[in-house]
Structure 1
Amino acid sequence: MSIIICPGIHESLFTQCFVSGWIDQLTDEAKKKKAVDVLMFPGEGGLALSGFHLWQFLHKHLQDRIESPVVFISFSAGVVGAILAAHKWQEIGGYVKAFIAIDGWGVPMWGNFPIHRMSHDYFTHWSSSMLGSGQNNFCADPPVDHLQMWRSPQSVQGYCLDSCFSESPPKQRLSAAEFLHLLLKHYEDN
């Protein structure tokens, strides 16, 4: 399984914080088994919005593994390019196992793959859900700054909404990093 990290338009340091604060720690077991490959889209600035450039990146790095499962984790403006690339990847025979949008406010979500939204406050969760979302979404409570969701998901507390994993009953508090870990564990196991 490959995890595709799609940052938004922000300092690259925030993505490094996201990776070091969450991905490196929580997927060590899977990395040791070589079950998870983490690829970070290097698109900076407006390239975060480009589904075409992200699709080219995927094609370059995964062309020999096109049918291998892919999970997208995207943030803010990066959600725009990532959802477009996910559809294009699927059109050419790629397997999109799941799509996780972190604070993709105002971005319509559709697809025949599981979609999860993570929001920095309830208004963002509620208003974005009208544009499509799946089950097992996350909402920060108390609300946090938009960039904190990406910069330090381990520090953001909240709830799983719209359904829940068996490991996380409704209204059980957990961090955004723990929620992401539960999602990835679910997709690694299934």
Structure 2
Amino acid sequence: MNVIICPGMHEIDLTKSFISGLSDFNSDIFSCLSSVKILIYLGNNLKTLSAFHILNFLFEKIEDMKSPIIFIAFSAGVVGGLQAAYLWQFLGGRVKAFIAIDGWGVPLFGNFPIHTISHDYFTHQSLLRMPGGNNNFYAQPAVEHLEIWRSPQSVRGWWVNPNLTTKSTKIYLTVSEFLHMLLKHYEKISPENQLGKGE
């Protein structure tokens, strides 16, 4: 399984901090997964928004288009990343899921599961996403926009899932824990058991 990370328009140090923050959870969030290849797209300025450049990056890095991909995109990277996901799938590739972190203003629709992570409740509520989408997250207390990318291991909030079997439909955890849960889920499932759109 490939995980492609599409940062926003910000200093590269923030993305390094994001990866480091994920590694602070359970020693290394990615080492808990048996067969994950991490790809970090480091396009700068307008290339962050460019599905064409992200698609070229994927063709350079991935040998087998049928190898499943999960996108993790932040801010402006959600724009280019989501368009690249559509195109990759259109060309025969396999998109297992798309995780949009603070992709406010981007219509989050697709025929693959889309999950959202937001820096506050207002952003979580105002996202343009498919109705009935489950398995999303918002920070509580709210944090600054860049903080959710800088420190996923320390930003805490609510995992929102109406299908939870517990009494509550929300569970309190960190961004790192939420991402770990999603990645483990998608590593385990086969295509026929994949969660439905936006779940």
TM-score normalised by L of structure 1: 0.92
The match for 1:26 is 29
Measure the CA separation in 2 of the matches of 1:29 and 1:181. 9
Matched letter for residue 46 of structure 2: G
Give runs of aligned pairs for residues 25-174 of structure 1, distance below 5 A.
25-30=28-33, 33=34, 35-62=35-62, 64-128=63-127, 130-132=128-130, 134-163=133-162, 170-174=169-173
What is the identity percentage for the equivalent residue pairs of Structure 1 and Structure 2?
52
Deviates most, 37-46 or 18-27: 18-27
Deviation at 1:149, TM superposition (A): 0.7
CA RMSD, Structure 1 to Structure 2 (Å): 1.8
Determine if contact 1:106/1:131 at 8 Å carries over to the other structure.
Answer: no
Measure the CA separation in 1 of the matches of 2:165 and 2:16. 31
TM-score normalised by L of structure 2: 0.88
Structure 1 stretches lacking a partner, 5+ long: none
In the alignment of these two chains, the number of paired residues is 185
Determine if contact 1:157/1:173 at 8 Å carries over to the other structure.
Answer: yes
The match for 1:12 is 12
Matched letter for residue 47 of structure 1: K
Measure the CA separation in 2 of the matches of 1:29 and 1:158. 22
Structure 2 stretches lacking a partner, 5+ long: 190-199
Determine if contact 2:161/2:170 at 8 Å carries over to the other structure.
Answer: no
Determine if contact 2:5/2:41 at 8 Å carries over to the other structure.
Answer: yes
Determine if contact 1:118/1:139 at 8 Å carries over to the other structure.
Answer: yes
Measure the CA separation in 2 of the matches of 1:160 and 1:98. 17
Determine if contact 1:100/1:117 at 8 Å carries over to the other structure.
Answer: yes
Determine if contact 1:72/1:98 at 8 Å carries over to the other structure.
Answer: yes
